[in-house]
Structure 1
Amino acid sequence: MSTTRKRIAVIGLGTAGSMAAWRLASRGADVVGYEQFGTSHDRSAHAGESRIFRTAYFEDQDYAPLIRSAKALWRQLEAETGTELLTLTGNLMLGEASAEMANVSESIDKFGVDAVAIPLEEARKRWPQHPYREGDVVVLDREGGYLRPELAVLKAARRAEALGAELRTYTPVEGIEVKADGVWVTAGGHSERYDHAVVTPGPWAGKLFPELAMLIEARKVVSAWFAGREPGAFDPAHFPCFVRATPREFYGLPAMAGNGLKLGLSGAVNRPVPDPDALDRTVPLDEVKAFRALVAESFPGLYPDPIRVSAYMEGYTRDGHGIVGRLGGEERITAVTGLSGHGFKLSPALGEIAADYALTGSSENTLALLNPDRFLATPTITENP
């Protein structure tokens, strides 16, 4: 690994930015992080109390090695901070035979993921809380579980500080300009020069870089929490996290406090946010009713009225895969954004990839399906004298 003391700006200290700051500081970089809100705020993609961690993957089987790298880094962050962040309870994937379920099977076969198909009758006995359908495929990912996102972002940021990073909270970035002598970042009317900038703006990507406005859509994500009727029925010790792919996509995790479930719907139904600076965090009754209908249909073991709902934002690309790499061909800008609802579990590995690009100019750890070039065919950042 390179330990050249380069001066690196990290713009946005949420899901990916906090991890990039930690990995860069760990590798000897001179890191300055910018965040428009406070550390581990609740407006963006790491809000919501919990995130599923899964290794057998719906989206593409080639994520499996990256997830394994992320798992090792999660354990490293836990060790360095003395904090439990990843709890392995298992994760169920359910649905009819489909391309998504085929990806799950291929990730198991290709990469030796510790997961197994569970016969439907056995699944009904082990997890009777679920409404199984004839034709369902049920896979138990033994390496799955849940993460604590707000705590994880906070701990990564604080660990970066302990390693020498300077984190400037409540400091919005007003501009980024590439010049012959480096990357100039302007915040609070003051500009500073850096050797490289790692840009992790989340739903604000289009505001910071206009060329990303057509590639990344900010959407409002709603989570709802429901109480269980029977004590212990949804305890994580015997009720794994889950993702259902068909006939309707939704996911659930045991509630962190008390007996119940946190539920979320498919990213495809999340409503666009025209201006991420003006997110309406209220949850209208039609969205509450959609959750009520889901619970009535799928989980009779829950009371149908949510005891809590919350809204935050995520950035989605057209193909559902993130943008990770050099932005517009410019060697001094690395972007990690548009993670499309499944990036948190990967975030320490994405932070490591960002550190690779910033310090060595390339990364052997990244995936071709995350390359910004699939959208940005020609450079769009111009160099100024």
Structure 2
Amino acid sequence: MGETLRTDTVVVGLGAMGSQALWHLARRGVPTVGVEQFVPGHDRGSSHGESRIIRTAYVEGAEYVPFVRAAWERWADLEQASGQELLLRTGALMAGAPDSGAVSGALTAASHHALEHEHLSPEQAQARFPHHRFAPGEEAVVEQEGGVLLPEAAIGAAVRLAGEAGARVLTEAPVTRIVPDPEQPTVWMGGTEIRARRVVVAAGSWTTRLLPQLPDLGIRVERRVLGWFPITGAPEPHTGGQVFARDEADGTLWFGFPSLDGRTVKIGVHSEAPGARFPGAQWGEPVDPDTGPRAPDTADGARLGLLAARLDGVATTPERMSACMYTMTPDEDFLIGHRAELPGLVLAGGFSGHGFKFASAVGAALADLAEHGRTDLPIDMFDPQRQ
């Protein structure tokens, strides 16, 4: 015989966004059940790998800046509530040709929102950051409002606090079906049924599997690889540096972190232009989320090693690598809100490889939408009906 549970709100998926939504709902006193198919902080999705970047002069568009600022405030709330350090404030460096997205996008966002920043000439950039090997003519933008988020710790803290506030947390509980309904949507886990007033779906790469009613939004799941490269020179520039994003002349946008362990530097590729030096395989390769991305190989290491060579005092062979998934929308903007064909559900998905930094604000917005049907947070550009 199956079991029937009843609650006000169910949160499906306790990764970056769902864990935050669960905490915000629970701290407000909303009866909530959180359901996770693995264990919070797992490495099967898109929210692992020890570190994530947060930056404010947003390369992807000035319209994101108010939402980043809202996220900074709510990350501080989570740190205070948990008593844990979850965000390391390092500042951020964006570098590339003057017309590159990393430089021009950061300058546009900084100018539009009057963000404190520095615009460095090629000579100034190389003098300030000698551990970066800049190509001739490359400029840099530096801002103080940047840093490193600790994803596994943040997810664990939010889930723990949610449980302490009264949320029921079900782990290793795969959801098999979600039934939309304007009054009583239902979540099924095998023979167990959860009836609720609202369901928040934050299932990451599994979103379209669980919601086959969705029209073809062009959502795709892609493989990415991260590499940790040993420091071979003086560690100080790499242990005390900034998070960074760099635009290469061939269209590659890559990123990196100051060393968190004192031995290695983590880097990854966000995107490449078609026809770049290592097309296909790592960037754009489709992934079945149930199977997961294939393990990193020597070709991945070689590709990342070419980028590691742009850092002074860092080896070009990785000590280790990790694969993860990007869940992409066609415009690379997020999906946060309601869709007419999914009554009773609140959707969060398509975070396109740059969403983790917003998770604290996304969670608050999802809680608002589930509780009140609206939010004052700036999410209009993420309306799922735009697709």
Do they superpose with TM above 0.5? Answer: yes
Q: Would you say the 8 A contact 2:40–2:156 is kept in 1? A: yes
Structure 2 residue matching 1:221: 3-state secondary structure: strand
Equivalent position of 2:107 in the other structure: 105
Q: Would you say the 8 A contact 1:89–1:146 is kept in 2? A: yes
Q: 1:123-171 CA distances to partner (integer Å, 9 max, x unpaired)?
A: 2112111122333231111110111111111101111111111110001
Equivalent position of 2:299 in the other structure: 286
Asked whether 1:303 is paired with 2:304, we answer no
Asked whether 1:257 is paired with 2:274, we answer no
Asked whether 1:46 is paired with 2:47, we answer yes
> Structure 1 regions of 5+ residues with no counterpart?
1-5, 376-385
| Amino acid of the structure 2 residue aligned with 1:92 | L
Q: 1:177 to 1:331 in 2, by over 3 A?
A: closer
| Amino acid of the structure 1 residue aligned with 2:132 | H
Equivalent position of 1:3 in the other structure: none
Aligned-residue offset at 1:252? 0.6
> Aligned partners of 1:136 and 1:160: how far apart in 2?
46
> Aligned partners of 2:228 and 2:316: how far apart in 1?
10
> Aligned partners of 1:217 and 1:92: how far apart in 2?
29
Aligned-residue offset at 1:246? 3.1
Q: Would you say the 8 A contact 2:36–2:174 is kept in 1? A: yes
Q: Would you say the 8 A contact 2:287–2:293 is kept in 1? A: no
Aligned-residue offset at 1:271? 3.8
Aligned-residue offset at 1:110? 2.0
| Amino acid of the structure 2 residue aligned with 1:135 | G
> Aligned partners of 1:201 and 1:216: how far apart in 2?
13
Query: Which segment is superposed worse, 122-131 or 93-102?
Result: 93-102
Q: 1:219 to 1:212 in 2, by over 3 A?
A: farther
Asked whether 1:218 is paired with 2:221, we answer yes
Structure 2 residue matching 1:182: 3-state secondary structure: coil
Equivalent position of 2:168 in the other structure: 166
Structure 2 residue matching 1:266: 3-state secondary structure: strand
Question: Between Structure 1 and Structure 2, how many residues are aligned?
Answer: 368
Identity of aligned residues (%): 33
Q: 1:212 to 1:51 in 2, by over 3 A?
A: farther
Q: Would you say the 8 A contact 1:205–1:212 is kept in 2? A: no
> Aligned partners of 1:294 and 1:119: how far apart in 2?
22
The aligned runs of 1:199-214 (5 Å cut-off) are 199-210=201-212, 211=214, 214=217
Q: 1:142 to 1:274 in 2, by over 3 A?
A: closer
Q: 1:212 to 1:10 in 2, by over 3 A?
A: farther
Equivalent position of 2:23 in the other structure: 22
> Aligned partners of 2:136 and 2:125: how far apart in 1?
12
Equivalent position of 2:197 in the other structure: 195
Equivalent position of 1:345 in the other structure: 357
Equivalent position of 1:383 in the other structure: none
Q: 1:266 to 1:204 in 2, by over 3 A?
A: same
Asked whether 1:79 is paired with 2:91, we answer no
Q: Would you say the 8 A contact 2:27–2:162 is kept in 1? A: yes
Query: Which segment is superposed worse, 261-270 or 75-84?
Result: 261-270
Q: Would you say the 8 A contact 2:184–2:198 is kept in 1? A: yes
Asked whether 1:114 is paired with 2:116, we answer yes
> Aligned partners of 2:131 and 2:78: how far apart in 1?
34
| Amino acid of the structure 1 residue aligned with 2:322 | S
> Aligned partners of 1:23 and 1:314: how far apart in 2?
25
> Aligned partners of 1:212 and 1:275: how far apart in 2?
19
Q: Would you say the 8 A contact 2:66–2:378 is kept in 1? A: no
> Aligned partners of 1:336 and 1:199: how far apart in 2?
6
Structure 2 residue matching 1:179: 3-state secondary structure: coil
Asked whether 1:235 is paired with 2:247, we answer no
Q: Would you say the 8 A contact 1:221–1:267 is kept in 2? A: no
Query: Which segment is superposed worse, 51-60 or 365-374?
Result: 365-374
Equivalent position of 2:95 in the other structure: 94
> Aligned partners of 2:237 and 2:216: how far apart in 1?
41
Q: Would you say the 8 A contact 1:66–1:346 is kept in 2? A: yes
Structure 1 residue matching 2:376: 3-state secondary structure: coil
Query: Which segment is superposed worse, 316-325 or 8-17?
Result: 316-325
Aligned-residue offset at 1:179? 3.3
Equivalent position of 2:276 in the other structure: none
Equivalent position of 2:126 in the other structure: 124
Structure 1 residue matching 2:257: 3-state secondary structure: strand
Aligned-residue offset at 1:193? 1.1
Asked whether 1:272 is paired with 2:274, we answer no
Aligned-residue offset at 1:108? 1.1
| Amino acid of the structure 2 residue aligned with 1:218 | V
> Aligned partners of 1:293 and 1:80: how far apart in 2?
42
Aligned-residue offset at 1:213? 6.1
Structure 2 residue matching 1:220: 3-state secondary structure: strand
Q: 1:259 to 1:114 in 2, by over 3 A?
A: farther
Asked whether 1:334 is paired with 2:346, we answer yes
Q: 1:106 to 1:294 in 2, by over 3 A?
A: closer
Q: 1:79-133 CA distances to partner (integer Å, 9 max, x unpaired)?
A: 0011001111111011113362333222212222232212322221121111223
> Aligned partners of 2:380 and 2:100: how far apart in 1?
20
Backbone CA RMSD of aligned residues: 1.8
What's the TM-score once normalised by structure 1's chain length? 0.91
> Structure 2 regions of 5+ residues with no counterpart?
1-6, 273-281
